[in-house]
Amino acid sequence: MIGEHNRLVEIWSPTGAVNSANEPLPDAWALHKSKWARIRGETGMGTIRAAAAAGGVHTALDRYSFRVSYDTSITNKMQIRERDGTRYNILTVRHDKADRDWTDIVAETGGANG
């Protein structure tokens, strides 16, 4: 554990495996790496703005921000998984290009894979 980074999470990437019809396999994921993260939930205002952007429709998806040490290998095609089995689909990844201290990951759970 490093400071506020108090949760060990796993970053998973798609393997690219396909079935006989050349369609991606839904559970074809491989562990990319484990990282210590600081996790923050979406604020009340963030939830209201997301619902407004979706035409006032509140979805069952929960968004979280994960801050990890600087790592440019993480992309929005990956997933975050917790030890309890919770999966989060990565939506956006932002890197601290100035100081190279952190990478912020916005991810949601409750969707098809998350």
14-38 pLDDT tens trace:
998 988 898 888 788 999 999 999 9
Largest CA distance in the chain: 48
What pTM did the predictor assign? 0.76
Rounded Cα distance, 28 and 65, in Å: 24
What is the pLDDT confidence band of residue 58, given thresholds at 50, 70 and 90? low
- Which residue, 76, 67, 77, 78, is CA-closest to 103? 67
Rounded Cα distance, 114 and 88, in Å: 4
Q: Which residues contact 3 (CB under 8 A, 6 or more apart)?
A: 38
Q: Domain 7-109, what fold? A: Thrombin, subunit H (2.40.10)
What is the pLDDT confidence band of residue 105, given thresholds at 50, 70 and 90? very high
